[in-house]
């Protein structure tokens, strides 16, 4: 808990890059996606993956999918300590082997500030790599009074078109993230939150810009490659 609090103090919730301030993201050329996916029936074997796509074409430039052995125990609220070290290693391998392909932003299959202590996987990875990071989750993490009740479902149903959003405001009064309808043909939203070195508005705009389907392409490509791996 102390280590988490120490790292959290380094989170930057504002845009820090020039491309982030441009309405068309001029200057953004590479977007990364990361995820750690467990082998079915085995919570100690997982695939740690990093994919880098060109922007705005969203074509795969680089991929790194490796089987890893996860030894740290699962503790609710501290999942990043179990998973992030493998994602950091993937980023470091890229920096050593293909530094010209380093992503300018990472989309993380998980949460950022939308977390019991405001420091989810996207924040943790962002602070350790010092790369802009965005949390993109498919389900609502119920924290700070946020619940998936009928009111929430009604708000989700009110999102009629791709790009429409509503804020996730906790009982603390803090906006923890944004609910985004990312794709016209899917009524299931995404839950976008700040990870590091990006504002919430920019995070939502970029996630939407990376969506050809419901899930943004960097994360979709990561999952696609993980599904192709054989079981051990």
Per-residue tokens: 118: 């405001």
Provide the pLDDT for residue 1. 80
> Do residues 103 and 131 make contact, with C-beta atoms less than 8 angstroms apart?
yes
Quick one: DSSP state of residue 55?
T
Backbone angles phi, psi at 223, to 5 degrees: -65, -35
Provide the pLDDT for residue 230. 46
Specify the higher pLDDT residue, 163 or 231. Answer: 163
Q: Tell me which residue of 8, 47, 32 sits closest to 195, measured CA to CA.
A: 8
> Do residues 190 and 180 make contact, with C-beta atoms less than 8 angstroms apart?
yes
Per-residue tokens: 99: 């530094």
How far apart CA 189 and CA 194 sit, in angstroms, is 17
Mean pLDDT, the chain, integer: 92
| Minimum mean pLDDT range among 74-78, 208-212, 220-224 | 74-78
Which parts of the chain are beta strand (E)?
Answer: 30-39, 42-54, 60-69, 105-109, 133-137, 165-169, 175-180, 190-196
Segment 53-73 mean pLDDT = 92
Per-residue tokens: 220: 């979709």
Provide the pLDDT for residue 126. 97
How far apart CA 99 and CA 109 sit, in angstroms, is 23
Using the predicted structure, report yes or no on whether residue 144 has a pLDDT greater than 90.
yes
Provide the pLDDT for residue 28. 98
How far apart CA 182 and CA 209 sit, in angstroms, is 9
CATH class of 1-227: alpha beta
In the chain, DSSP finds a helix count (H) and a strand count (E) of 6, 8
List all residues 6 or more positions away from 217 whose beta carbon is below 8 Å from its beta carbon.
33, 53, 58, 210, 211
Q: Tell me which residue of 134, 143, 139, 137 sits closest to 194, measured CA to CA.
A: 134
Q: State the chain's maximal CA–CA distance in angstroms.
A: 49
Domain range summary for the chain, segments of one domain joined by +: 1-227
Write down how long the chain is.
232
């Amino acid at each position: 808990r102390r280590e988490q609090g120490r790292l959290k103090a380094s989170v930057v919730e504002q845009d820090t890059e020039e491309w982030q301030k441009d309405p068309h993201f001029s200057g953004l050329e590479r977007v990364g996606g990361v995820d750690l996916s467990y082998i079915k029936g085995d919570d100690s074997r997982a695939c740690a993956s990093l994919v880098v796509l060109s922007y705005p074409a969203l074509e795969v430039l680089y991929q790194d999918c490796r089987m890893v052995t996860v030894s740290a125990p699962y503790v609710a609220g501290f999942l990043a300590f179990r998973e992030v070290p493998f994602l950091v290693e993937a980023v470091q391998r890229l920096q050593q082997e293909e530094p010209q392909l380093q992503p300018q932003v990472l989309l993380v299959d998980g949460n950022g500030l939308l977390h019991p202590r405001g420091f989810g996987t996207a924040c943790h990875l962002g602070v350790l790599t010092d790369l802009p990071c965005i949390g993109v989750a498919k389900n609502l993490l119920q924290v700070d009074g946020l619940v998936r009740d009928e009111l929430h479902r009604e708000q989700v149903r009110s999102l009629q078109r791709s790009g429409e959003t509503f804020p996730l405001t906790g009982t603390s009064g803090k906006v923890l993230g944004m609910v985004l309808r990312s794709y016209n043909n899917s009524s299931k939203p995404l839950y976008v939150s700040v990870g590091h070195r990006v504002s919430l508005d920019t995070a939502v705009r970029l996630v939407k810009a990376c969506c050809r389907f419901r899930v943004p392409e960097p994360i979709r490509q990561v999952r696609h490659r993980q599904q192709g791996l054989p079981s051990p």
